[in-house]
Amino acid sequence: MLATAIKADDLIDLVKTYNPKTNEGLIREAFSYGEKMHEGQYRHSGAPYFTHPVEVAAILTEQKLDDATIITAILHDTIEDTKSTFGEVERKFGTEIAELVDGVTKLTNLQLSSIESKQAENFRKLFMAMSKDLRVILVKLADRLHNMRTIKHMRSEKQVQKSRETMDIYAPLAGRMGMHWMREELEDLAFRVLNPDARASIIRRFITLQKETGNLVPKITNDIRAELDKAGIRGDVSGRAKKPFSIWRKMEEKKQAFSRLSDIYGFRVICADEDACYRVLGAIHRRWRAVPGRFKDYISQPKSNGYRSLHTTVSGRDGKRVEIQIRTQAMHEVAEAGVAAHWAYRDGVRVENPFAVDPTTWVSSVNEGFGQAEDHEDFLEHVKLEMYQDQVFCFTPKGDVVKLPRGAVPLDFAYAIHTRIGHSCVGAKVDGLRVPLWTRLRNGQSVEIITAEGQKPQPTWMDIVVTGRAKSAIRKSLREEHRDRYIKLGRELTRVAFEHIDKKATDKALATAAKALSLVDADQLLEYVGSTELSAREVVAALYPDLVEKREVGEVETKRAVAGLPDGVAVKRAACCQPVPGERIVGIKHRGDGVWLHGIACDALIELEEEPDRWVDLRWHDGQHPAQNAVTLNMTLSNDFGVLGRICTLIGEQKANISDLHFIDRKPDYFRLLVDVDVRDAEHLHGVMTAIEADSDVASLERHRDLSRKPELNA
């Protein structure tokens, strides 16, 4: 037998720390069986392969999980990678463990980061596995965590692939399950591979900050303890600096440099009971000024995964912003383990934590609405919104809470209540005021939906809503209403497209194309073509990719770049958001100054939500636009010889022109500057930014948004 870093006795001792009544014999037997099955197998590092499943089991002991989960971790690769079989595992360790091991094996074989349609289908399988037994996902997450901890031994291209998959899928999934410590570690390990220069830059700047200010964590911790002592409240206070990726994400989200980012420290107070939590909050707010909009009460309004805590951000010592979380010990256990707390043991018995969510209930909440998805893409849309989006909580007039993704609009709210309400929506009131249906909702707002008989979903609604549920319901309604017409139109469009390459759009050809495009049948394919969700060219390409000629697109004249303008009206691009062809746009009328063009997500539009008569529905003309659309890029570069010249050359190689350049911050090790680059469209801009970001001396790059440059909106 090959030696492993963790022996069977070591693993059993870890389990016994929280479960003295563990089935020691069964764990020992699983250890011996797994070691035997993996004999002769080695990891990329050269270590015996069996060290991996044992380390995965050790990670799960930190969550105080039951014997079945620990044994599954030990055996999780046996069915896939050894001569072991489901039947043999079932005979030796029982049906429950065999099914768990088989579930992990099936998850391992899912390619979750593949192309969209396949990815959507596999996400559906992932959630089906979760609904059967969530412990399968817990083992898979621990498996991924250990693989990421040892990723340096893989080939570089494999490191990038695994890290991207971890960042896109496994880290958000861990966060959605409430296992935030695991999410943070997975993200940071992936960040180390995907952007090592940025991570190193964050760490260097953090070290510099500590040299300038000293270690603020113990100082602020003592400040909080002193306030609690003054108020006569007992609580355990701890603090830490946030992880590099967490800091980097804040820099990206807030569009701030490290030097201006303040809330990079997090502190936690563990109290005796719920009443003490609110008393601690009061003591902290009396001592330090609370930052507006940064208070969240997850005790009175818990997350669906059981998470409860008070969150507040205050301006603490030397004006530094600090984030403080306040909760009880029972709440803290759920905050650390998330949904996994349901299986946690203490002193040999299952922990009766009042805040631990029943996994069946949790999976049901995650799957809510997924059943309405008509196809794999609808399902994937639901999953991504559920896993990745920040959320806002709004209220019905009766006081019921409706949970929506950030960026949701009243139409999303209407469909969240009931599909019938969404279909018949004609207007909305937010906090008692009538607002356009495209108004973005904010936390705590009260929303009233106005309905009318005879109202039906409009095609323009698809561009307004953001939730998968609303999109799916609108799409389904539009299809049903126009299905026959769409099929007839789709048949004619495909006939012409096939004749263009001297082929015939036979029933068999259409059925084969539908299968290749993961559609139900030829009728659905024709319906999609007729409703413009699928182009006839894509249908032809699915069968004859080599015969499809690349579409010739003429260049668009600058003076006719935008469609939908009234005759004789001039249009200008707003400098605050600098929209480019390929991005969704809207026009705003200005007296005597024509129409100003804004990106649909421009924050300047918020001020005009109650003036819908000034909005003009516009779109970019199809075709290739000239490279005359200036976009300002905010970049941070290493202050080293030749770096700026190299970046300018990179931009030129992408057929883009630099029209202006302005330095805004210069330090010995780096400098920040604004560069105006003339591009054709969004795709051209993406190519330019990708080329710049790939340079190792570029610490950060983003589009510069400046509301101070917006047109005078009351004109």
Q: What pLDDT sits at residue 425?
A: 94
Active-site residue flag, 10: no
**480: in domain:** yes
CATH code of 705's domain = 3.30.70.260
**354: in domain:** no
Q: Of 138, 142, 182, which Cα lies nearest the Cα of 359?
A: 138
Q: Which helix (H) or strand (E) holds 325?
A: strand 321-328
Active-site residue flag, 80: yes
Tell me, yes or no, whether 14 and 161 share the same domain.
yes
Q: What pLDDT sits at residue 390?
A: 57
Reported as a pLDDT band with limits 50, 70 and 90, residue 128 is low
Residue type, 52: H
* DSSP secondary structure, 330-377, as one string: HHHHHHHHGGGGGG-EETTEE---TTPPPHHHHHHHHHTTGGG--SHH
* DSSP secondary structure, 190-247, as one string: HHHHH-HHHHHHHHHHHHHHHHHH--HHHHHHHHHHHHHHHHT--EEEEEEEPPHHHH
> What whole-number distance in Å separates Cα of residue 40 and Cα of residue 122?
32
Are the beta carbons of 320 and 265 closer than 8 angstroms? yes
Q: What pLDDT sits at residue 384?
A: 54
Residue appearing with tokens 């069915």: 79
Are the beta carbons of 266 and 240 closer than 8 angstroms? yes
Q: Nearest 5 degrees, angle CA 82-CA 88-CA 93?
A: 110
> What whole-number distance in Å separates Cα of residue 427 and Cα of residue 552?
43
Catalytically annotated residue among 29, 81, 227, 706 = 81
**423: in domain:** yes
Among residues 619, 639, 667, the one where a domain terminates is: 619
CATH code of 331's domain = 3.30.460.10
> What whole-number distance in Å separates Cα of residue 108 and Cα of residue 104?
6
- Name the average pLDDT for the chain: 81
**131: in domain:** yes
Q: What pLDDT sits at residue 254?
A: 57
Q: Of 598, 600, 590, which Cα lies nearest the Cα of 569?
A: 590
Tell me, yes or no, whether 674 and 569 share the same domain.
no
Strand 321-328 with 265-271, pairing? parallel
pLDDT in tens, 376-385: 455 555 555 5
**364: in domain:** no
Max mean pLDDT among 169-178, 531-540, 627-636, 661-670 falls in 627-636
Tell me, yes or no, whether 15 and 100 share the same domain.
yes
Residue 554 has pLDDT above 70, yes or no: no
Residue 118 has pLDDT above 50, yes or no: no
Q: What pLDDT sits at residue 550?
A: 44
What distances in angstroms separate CA 416 from CA 223, 423, 466, one per listed residue? 44, 11, 12
Enumerate residues 6+ apart whose C-beta is below 8 A from 364.
none
**587: in domain:** yes
Q: What pLDDT sits at residue 490?
A: 85
How many beta carbons lie within 10 A of that of residue 130, not counting itself?
23
Tell me, yes or no, whether 190 and 203 share the same domain.
no
Tell me, yes or no, whether 201 and 189 share the same domain.
no
Which of 148-152, 234-238, 340-344, 612-616 has the weakest average pLDDT? Answer: 340-344
Three-class SS of residue 303? coil
Tell me, yes or no, whether 201 and 231 share the same domain.
yes
* Torsions phi, psi for 162 (to 5 deg): -65, -35
Reported as a pLDDT band with limits 50, 70 and 90, residue 131 is low
Are the beta carbons of 498 and 509 closer than 8 angstroms? yes
CATH code of 456's domain = 3.10.20.30
pLDDT in tens, 148-165: 999 988 888 889 888 988
What distances in angstroms separate CA 423 from CA 243, 401, 452, 456, one per listed residue? 45, 21, 9, 5
> What whole-number distance in Å separates Cα of residue 629 and Cα of residue 581?
9
Tell me, yes or no, whether 585 and 657 share the same domain.
no
Among residues 134, 169, 194, the one where a domain terminates is: 194
Tell me, yes or no, whether 479 and 451 share the same domain.
no
Q: Nearest 5 degrees, angle CA 403-CA 409-CA 410?
A: 85
Residue type, 228: L
Among residues 466, 482, 497, the one where a domain terminates is: 466
**672: in domain:** yes
Query: Which residue segment(s) compose the domain that 492 sits in?
Result: 474-543
Query: Per-residue pLDDT averaged across 530-535, rounded?
Result: 76
Q: What pLDDT sits at residue 130?
A: 62
Tell me, yes or no, whether 576 and 684 share the same domain.
no
- Is residue 26 packed enough to be buried (19+ CB in 10 Å), middle (13-18) or exposed (0-12)? middle
Residue 697 has pLDDT above 50, yes or no: yes
- Is residue 180 packed enough to be buried (19+ CB in 10 Å), middle (13-18) or exposed (0-12)? middle
Residue 31 has pLDDT above 90, yes or no: yes
pLDDT in tens, 585-601: 888 888 767 888 988 87
* DSSP secondary structure, 376-445, as one string: HHHHHHHHHHHHH--EEEEE-TT--EEEEETT--HHHHHHHH-HHHHHTEEEEEETTEEE-TTPPP-TT-
Tell me, yes or no, whether 515 and 571 share the same domain.
no
pLDDT in tens, 509-522: 898 888 888 888 89
Catalytically annotated residue among 80, 96, 297, 533 = 80
Q: What pLDDT sits at residue 62?
A: 87
Residues linked to residue 589 through DSSP beta bridges, in sequence order: 595
| Number of domains comprising the chain | 6
**338: in domain:** yes
Residue appearing with tokens 């650390």: 336
Tell me, yes or no, whether 446 and 487 share the same domain.
no
Helical H segments across 613-705, by residue range: 643-653, 682-693
Tell me, yes or no, whether 188 and 202 share the same domain.
no
- Is residue 700 packed enough to be buried (19+ CB in 10 Å), middle (13-18) or exposed (0-12)? buried
* Gap between the terminal Cα atoms of the chain: 82
Residue appearing with tokens 């200005």: 590
* Torsions phi, psi for 627 (to 5 deg): -80, 70
Residue appearing with tokens 């893989």: 154
